[in-house]
Structures are given as C-alpha cells and as structure tokens.
Structure 1
Amino acid sequence: MRAENYEKSLILSRHTLRKAISLKDDNLIALSYNNIAANFDQLAESEKALFYYKKAIIYANKTNNYHLKNWISNNLGNIYCFDKREYSKGIYYYKKSLEYSIKIADSSEIAFTKLNITWAYFDIGKFNLGLPYLNYINKHYKKYEDESIIVALNMLNGMYHAHLNNTKRATFYFEKAIKLGKNGNEKSDLSFSHQEYSKFLFKIKNYKKAYENLHAYNQITDELNTEEKLKKLNIAGINLEIDEYKREIDDIKTKYKSDQQILLEKQSKNKLISIVIISILLLIIVFSYFHFQNKQLKQTNKLKNIESKIQENIITASINGQEMERKKIASFLHDNISALLSSAALHLTIFSTKNNNDSVEITKTKAILIQTHYKIRDLSHQLLPSLLARFGLFYALNDLCEMNSNSNIFFEYSSDVSAETRYNEDYEMKMYFIISELLNNIIKHSQASIAKINLKEINSELHILVEDNGVGFEIKQYPTIEGFGLNQIKARINTMEGKFTVISKPKQGTTIKIIAPIEYKAKPAV
C-alpha cells in the first residue's frame, strides 16, 4: 500500500482476513479490516473505507490493543471530518483516539490527534473549544520532529490569529507554514495552508495576494486529485446499428411478400390449366399446393428465426448503449459537475469571509453544495463501479458478494481464476452487470438464505455457475418482462455465441449456468 500498489495490497489483505477469521483472532481480524479500509481510503472510496473501518473498530474493541484502537479511531475521525463533513462524529472519534494515545503514552500520536481536534473545531468556527488543544501543542512542539506536525501547527496558529484579526501574527504563521510545506513532502498540508491564508487575505482585502494563494491551492488540489479519466464514449454507432437491423427486417418482409405474390400467380395459372386437363394435372396441382405450403412454412420459420436473431442483437445493442452511457454519465458527473460544485462552495466561503457575512442562508447553502457534491460522487460510483475499472471483473465480483451478504442471505464467492486476471474492458462490464442482475433477482425473489457464485476458465471460455436454495419457480411460466430479465440475459449471451441454461423447480432452488467465450484484453502495439 505504501508503494501505491493498492491492487496487490487489497488481495493480500483479503487473504490475511480469511486466515485471521479461521484463527478467530480478533486482533488480526481488526488489523485486516483496517488495512482493507486504508486501501479504499487511499483510492478515495470513502464509503467502502467507512464500511470496513466500522468493522475493524468492532473487533478492535474486543481486544486490549490500544495502539490499534487509536489507529482505527483516528482513521474514522478523518473520514467523518474530511470526507463526510460530519464534524460531531469526527471529533468524537478523534477524542477516543486521544484517550488511547494517552494510555499508550505516545507523544507523537497525542500531538497528531490534538492537531486534528484543533483543526476540526477551527474549521466550524469553534475557536474557543479548539484553543486548549492548540496551546498544548504550542507548548510541547519543540520535541516533535515530524514536518507535518510543524506545518499544520503553523497553519492552525495562523487560523487562530486570523480569527483574532491579528494581521501581523496571522501573516507570520501562514507564510511560515507555506514555506515549510514547500520544502516538505506533505502536499495536503501545504494545500490547506494556501486555502486558509487566501481566506484571511480576502478578509483583510488583500485581493491580489489572496488570489495568488487561491490559485496555488487549486493547483495543488488538482495534482492531489488527478485520476485517470474514463474514455469518452459515443453511442451513435449503436443507434446506427439498430437502424440497420430495422432496415434489414423491412427488406426481408418486402422480399417475402414479393415471393408470396409470385407463388400465388403460379397457383392461379395452374388452376386454369387444371380446368382444361384435370385428369392429367390433378397430381401436379396437389404437388404444387404442398410444395407451396412447405416453402411458405420454411420462409415463415426462416423469417421468425431472423427476426428473433435481430431482436437479440437489438437488445444487446441497446444494453451496450446503456452501459456506454453509464460510463459517459459517470465520467461527466465525477469530472465536471462534482468539480463545479466544489468550486462553487469554495467561492461562496470566500465571499462570506470577505463580506463578514455568516448568515444562516449562506451556511445552509454551503452545506447543501457540499452534500450535493458527495451525492453526485456516490452516484458516479454506482453507475460505474470503480473497483471494476481499476482491478477487474473477479475482484469486483468478490466485493459485490461481500457487500450484498447480510444476516438474511450469504453470497459465497469462489473462482479458479486469479483475481489479477483482466479481460477486455467491455467484456468485463457485460459480465459484471449480468451477474449483478442475477444477484438482484436472488435478493428480490428467491427468499434464499445461501447463494453460491463460481467462476472457471476452461478452453478460453468463462463458465459461470449461480445457485441458490430459494423457493425456485416453474421455468415454463416465467414471463418475458421489459428490462434486463432472464430472457434479456439469454438473448445477450446468445449474441456472444455463448450458452445460457436455467434449472429450477418450485421449492428446490434455482441454478443458472452461463458459458461465454472470453474476450481477452488487447495487447499493446509494439
């Protein structure tokens, strides 16, 4: 994880967790959950990080390991304060972390935690509550050699003197924090220093310098938050493909009608001849009749088969378009709307600081903008799971099973394929959403307590087995419904030249087997 190889770190942490659970070692279980959460924290997946940190603290509280309790509590405080902006919860966990730091007499951890508590109180304008913690660090800071503590300490002193309108002292501390931050490796501390200094400069109407620091803050923040952007997708090709299918079926119907008309004319001629030579051509008329019926039946069946195939292709093209649109919308929400909301919140903060206006309406507006920003970010992750894009199909499915498991139903995931295996990006997305829909069907309709998902790779084919011990159903009676149901899944597998089999009986559970040719990831050109 420290080497930023999060994929390998997550895989190893999962293995560690399984072994820790088998050993029933609460200390190792808590540590494993904390490591998984920390990886998600580094990947900016705050919801998943919070989920696993909460699991970690449950097991840590069963032990006497105050070092671990301190570590996890501090991480929870960071999530709530920095990502959720739920300061009351964040301060609660910071204070729990402080208790454990005092118990283990770790002066460095005590300093870090008191810095966090000071920042949390100062960020919500409760300077009187944060001041005792700041005074403690100012008194003892000389014994700390950690550069991040010194940078943060100067920034917090600058914030406090800015609150007191002490321009000289505030300027001294802010500029010292920025100077130390530039010489160090903690870009986040330097970013916060520029941000808080810009707020103070706006307050004292030094607008030029304020904008210089605001620009520095934005530049550093952009560097910290740079992520690989999703490729822009265009579904125009899919729409053209659907139109082509429609034209194809219209041409086939037209040709069929023409053939039918020709045959009717032949039949009419045969009838006229039969009137003249009934005895001779009776057999010919009968033969012609049956020949016509047979040909018409074959053409009808052929047309039905073609229409069925075209319908399957249309369904697949439509679903491909939906998935491409998911990626496009997720990228747009994450890279554009979310950034605009963050910028709007920042400028509103600067405006209120500049005009000494802390009205209830402005405070509520800032809270709404921040809340909307996090909701849009969560929505973009729902539209396109970041684990799927970053780590691949098998890791995303493992996580999907674990996240959907609860006290009512347990999803058991197994695979003979290495979790590091990657296929073609579109192929991984198709298989992920197909399996996700099958799991949703189990949750909604099966009333099962256990479901098993197994994946194997055999002869360049992916074999997927999904079983549950639910109520089952009569296969002949399941309806064709709008949306991405069993019939739509079957149609899509057929267009991939795969196989889709459903085995189910009432009160005997359901088994679904899928065999799909693998589309491997293209090798880069040499």
Structure 2
Amino acid sequence: MPYKRIYSLLFILFLGTTNLLFSQTKDSLKKQTSILTQEATQLMKAENFEKSLILSRQALSQALILKDDNLIAMCYNTIAANFDQLAEFEKALFYYKKGVIYANRTNNNHLKNWLNNNLGNIYCFDKKEYAKGIYYYKKSLEYSTKIADSSEILLTKLNITWAYFDISKYDLGSPYLNYINKYHKKHGDETTAVALNMLNGMYYSHINNNRKANSYFEKAIKLGQKGSEESDLSFAHQEYSKFLFKTKSFKKAYQHLNTYNELTAKINNEEKLKKINVVGINLEIDEYKREIDNIKTEYKTSHQLLLEKQSKNKIISIIIISILILIIVFSYLYFQNNQLKQTNKLKDIESKIQENIITASINGQEMERKKIASFLHDNISALLSSAAMHLTIFSTKNQTNNEEITKTKAILIQTHYKIRDLSHQLLPSLLARFGLFYALNDLCEINSNSNIHFDYSSNVTSETRYNEDYEMKMYFIISELLNNITKHSDASEAKLSLKEIDNQLHILVKDNGKGFEIKQYNTIEGFGLNQIKARINTMDGKIKIISKPNEGTSVKIIAPIEYKAKPTV
C-alpha cells in the first residue's frame, strides 16, 4: 500500500508535539489521555497491536468523557491504523470514518489530511473502489494545501497519480505526474523515488515510448533493491512485467513476474506472522494482571476470615436444623409426590430432549460457520484472486482490452471482496483473535447509532480468554439478545454488563424499550428466547427475563465459566 506507513510516521511525530502542548495546558485527565494515545501509537509502530488497541481504547473512553474532538479523532485514527496493519480493512474503514467525523469539528488540518489519505488508500488499494479513493485523496490534498506542507502535497499527488494510472486514466493522472517530476528533487526523498520512476515507466509505456519506459522501470527496480519498501518494489516488478509482455519480451517478463510473486508471498507471510503474534499477551500486561490479582487475593482472604469467624458458631445449629428439615420434607415428599414422580420425570426427559435438539442444532450451525468461513477465506477467495491475476496476464500478453474480459476481471475482484466480508460475518475475527470481552465491547460500539446507544461495562479485563467454544456460544447468545433489542424494543438506550463471580459469568442485558408480557414470550416468534434458554440450561446455567409493557426488558444470565485447558507437559 503506497505511503500509509509514511503518513503513520508523520502522525506519530505530530502526536509527540501536540501531546506535549496538551500536558502544559490541560488538567491531569487530559494529560493522561494524551500519554495513553502516544504510547498506543508507539506500540503500533513497534507492531505490538494487541496492547496498542487496549491502550487506545482506554484513551478513547477518557477522550469521550473530556468531549475533546481532537483527542477522540486521534484515538479513532490509532485504532483504525492498528486494524489497517492487521489487514482488517472493514474495521479500519469503520474507525477511520469515525475519526473524520470528529476531526471535521476541529481546526487540525494535519489530522484531517492523514485520515482522508488513509481512507483513500483503503478504497483504492484494498477495496478497489477507485472513485471513492480518489475523492478522499483530493480531500487530503485540500488540507495539505491549507497547511502549505510541500512534502505532504507531493505525497498526496503521488497517490492520486498512482490511482488514476491503476485504472488506465493516464490523461487525468499525467498533470499530477508532471508536478511530481518538477518538485521531487526539492520536496521528495528516497522513499518516493521508486514509485515515481515506476509511474514514469507506466506513462511512457502508455504513449509507446518504449525506450524511456524501459529506462524508468529499470531505475525503479534498482532503487527498490537498495532498501525501499518491499511492497513498492513488488509493484515495480509487476508493472515492468506488464510492459515486457506488451513489448513481447516474454522470458524477461516471466522473470519479473516471478520476482513479483515471490515478494508478494513474502509480504503476505509477514502479515500472517503479525496476526499470529497478536495472540500472545506481552509481559507488561501479565505483570499488571498479577498485581491486580494479588490485591484481589489479599482482599478476599481478609474478608473470608471475617466471614469464617462470624459463621463458625452457626454451622452446627444450621446442620442440625437442616437435617431435621430434610427428614420432615423427605417424609412428606415421599408420600405426597410418589404419584407425580413419574409424570414429572417424563416431562423432564421431554424438556431435556428438546433442549438437546436445540443445542445440537446450534452447535452444528456454529461448526458449519467455522468450516464455511475457513473454506471461503482460505480456498474460494484465494482461487478468485488467482483467476483475476491470470486473466490480467492473459489480456496483457495478448494485447487486448476486450470489454467482456474487463467486466469479468471486475466481477472476480468484486466477488473476492464479498466472499471475504461474508467470511468475517460468519465467524467474527475479533472474537478469535482478541477474545470474548473485546469482541462484545466492539459489538456494542458498532450497534450504537443515532437511534439507540449500547453501553458496555465489565469487571473483567478485555484480554481475559476462556475456552474457544465457550466464548463462541456466549458471543452468539449475547449478539442475539442485542439484535432483539435493535429490531423489536424501540429502545433509545441499552446496557450490557458482565461480571466474573466465583467462576461464573454474570450477564445483564437491559433496555428502556416497550417491553412485553412474560407469559406470552414463549409464543413470540423471531425473539429466539426459547433457544437461548435451552442453550443456557445445557451449559448448567440460569436465565431470568424481567419485562412489562412500556417498562423495558432485563435479561439476566449466570453461566459456569469454561476456562482454557492447560497445556500438557
């Protein structure tokens, strides 16, 4: 992706200076928020994405309390940049857009410039929606012009040129290229030299000046081999191979195409390693967690000693009374309930059978979700990408711009992105990567809009992980409850609260909507409450629903926690 890293580094430097100013003029909370934001950005630069996301979330919460639009926009930009680096482009797009909303309320043209540039990068080079991407690049150019930063103007025009040339609109991109050629020596640097030479090669290839085109492409590759971004070097090999196919230098074209494929595979492998490394919890978080656990243990120990002293004298009397009561109750039940025993037993069996059927059905759906999501992402999506690339090579090799081939390429690319989005919908990637609590926090924020706000609270840290199947079950149960509120409640406010007490997860989902009669909920179709109740029962949990018309609804769930199995030595 061109120059997202350059803008990220510029953004880090800007955070350092602005946070210093804030620390001199604002109160302690604002200082703390600025420091958290700066640390989160540095962690992102060091590719410690998990802790960067945790700190940026904390900073965002404090910035929202302060109602500081500038800090809020910075936090959203940092969160989006983390997802961008992790190739979670839909998430990055969501948070970049939120950042733009708050940045537009400020006079911070630097921040507006970076946010719009990052949006342009995602639309052009990840989603292939060039019209939207160029729109945001031009917005970025407006702000870089306002702040009169020549280097940023040059970088933005370079991205606009690249976008136009990528869709073969050379007449629209060439004025920007002329500007870059004129001012690159003065305002550019080595990081942009590879792209500039590649773009010149593309332009001269377009106007059939093969000698100049070949010279520029070779210069781009030579500069790229000296230490430029591997992504820029891979693009240079790709475009050079297209030019060589055009000039019928097939052997050399295949050599550069092979180099492009090797570099692309290497870059993809590095991105996969980033995602794998995010799963590990670093030592600093472990140390912080241990300190909190020690405090909790000391408190529980002292509190427990007091309770033991108070209860010692009661234990014997309680045991005796309990035994007497049990004897009396047993005798009564033995004679009075003998006739009802068989009937109740049959009802229990029928109820358990129904619950097991529902649970088996839901388990099967979840397993199929996993299989389908994995198959779509790892197989179908990869095959579509490969098909699009081969079609591109074919059209280049045969020097044809056939309309049907162009449409077929566009359909393959569009299908690839739709399949990737469907894969993420079937199995949320945040749930697998960061765990239940982080995914639920994100779910509340995404579902919040101008009509309803979902408030999230938890006494459990977001990095806590449970058994994978347990996390998936609880996520889809809570997701269904939130979906019911959005669709049926007409509520303006809702709350999701989670607490871990005595190895049990206590969940409260509450809204201020229109409510309903509890006696009728078994017959209400579409709510899924019976399925949720059956699922909780099979987990040896409890569920309680409290609702009245025009008084809102509360759903309380208590479920035993299934922790991760400890690895065997």
Equivalent position SS for 2:341: helix
Structure 1 residue 401 displacement after superposition? 0.6
The equivalent position to 1:213 in structure 2, one of 244, 253, 256, is 256
Match of 1:44 among 83, 87, 91: 87
Q: Report the equivalent of 1:347.
A: 390
Corresponding residue pairs, total: 465
Q: Which of 377, 382, 385 is the aligned partner of 2:425?
A: 382
Separation in structure 1 between the aligned mates of residue 337 and residue 66 of structure 2, nearest angstrom: 71
Equivalent pair of 2:195/2:232 in contact (CA under 8 Å) = yes
* Aligned counterparts, 1:434-513, within 5 A: 434-479=477-522, 485-513=528-556
Deviations 1:461-510 (A, max 9, x none): 11000111111111121135788811111111111111111111222211
Q: 1:91 maps to what in 2?
A: 134
Tell me how far apart the structure 1 counterparts of residues 227 and 526 of structure 2 sit (CA, whole Å).
Answer: 55
Q: How far, CA to CA, are the matches of 2:383 and 2:457 in structure 1?
A: 42
Confirm or deny that 1:426 pairs with 2:472: no
Aligned with 2:160 (options 107, 114, 117): 117
2:225 counterpart SS class:
helix
User: For residues 481 and 475 of structure 1, what CA distance do their matches in structure 2 show?
Assistant: 10
Report the Cα distance in structure 1 between the residues aligned to 2:391 and 2:524, rounded to whole angstroms.
Answer: 48
Is residue 2:563 matched to residue 1:514?
no
- Distance in 2, matches of 1:21 and 1:296, equals 63
Output one character per residue of 1:158-189: Cα deviation in whole Å (capped at 9) or x when no partner.
Answer: 21122122333222222332233233251211
Q: Secondary structure at the match of 2:406?
A: helix
Which whole-Å CA distance do the structure 2 matches of 1:484 and 1:450 have between them? 19
| Inter-CA distance 202–479: structure 2 relative to 1 (3 Å threshold) | same
Write the distance in 2 (CA, Å) between the matches of 1:332 and 1:144: 47
Distance in 2, matches of 1:294 and 1:504, equals: 33
Confirm or deny: 8 A CA contact 2:522 2:529 kept in the other structure. Answer: no
2:341 alignment counterpart: 298
Counterpart residue identity of residue 394, structure 2: F
CA–CA distance in structure 2, aligned partners of residues 483 and 306 of structure 1: 26
AA in 2 matched with 1:182: Q
Q: Alpha-carbon deviation of 1:117?
A: 0.9
Amino acid at match of 1:175: E
Alpha-carbon offset, residue 295 of structure 1: 7.3
Q: Is contact 1:111–1:149 with CA below 8 Å preserved after alignment? A: no
Q: Displacement of 1:405 after TM fit?
A: 0.9
> How far apart, CA to CA, are the structure 2 residues paired with 1:37 and 1:381?
17
Q: 1:71 to 1:484 in 2, by over 3 A?
A: same
CA RMSD of aligned residues (A): 2.3
Deviation by residue 1:376-427 (Cα, 9 ceiling, x = unmatched): 1111110011111111111110111111111111111111111111111111
Residue aligned with 1:465, SS: strand
Deviation at 1:139, TM superposition (A): 2.7
Counterpart in the other structure of 1:21: 64
**SS class of match (2:45):** coil
Find the aligned partners of 1:65 and 1:481 in 2 and give their Cα distance.
Answer: 51
Counterpart-to-counterpart distance in 1, 2:225 and 2:346: 73
Equivalent in the alignment of 1:287:
none
- Cα separation, 1, equivalents of 2:471 and 2:527: 17
| Greater C-alpha radius of gyration | 1
After the TM superposition, list the runs of 4 or more consecutive aligned residues in structure 1 that deviate by more than 4 angstroms: 293-297, 480-484
**Alignment-derived partner of residue 319 in structure 1:** 362
Q: What is the CA–CA distance in structure 1 between the aligned matches of 2:411 and 2:73, rounded to whole Å?
A: 35
TM-score, length basis structure 2: 0.77
Q: CA offsets per residue over residues 165-222 of structure 1, 9 Å max, x none?
A: 2333222222332233233251211221122122112212222322232232223223
| Contact residue 191 and residue 220 of structure 1 kept, 8 A | yes
SS at match of 1:423: coil
| AA matched with 1:475 | I
Deviates more, 1:432-441 or 1:339-348: 339-348
Q: Shift of residue 58 of structure 1?
A: 2.2
CA contact (8 A) 1:147 1:184 kept: no
TM-score (norm 1): 0.83
C-alpha distance in structure 1 between counterparts of 2:68 and 2:339, whole Å: 73
AA of the residue aligned to 1:310: I
Matched position secondary structure for 2:399 = coil
Mapped contact 2:536–2:543 kept (Cα < 8 A): yes
SS of the residue corresponding to residue 462 of structure 1 reads strand
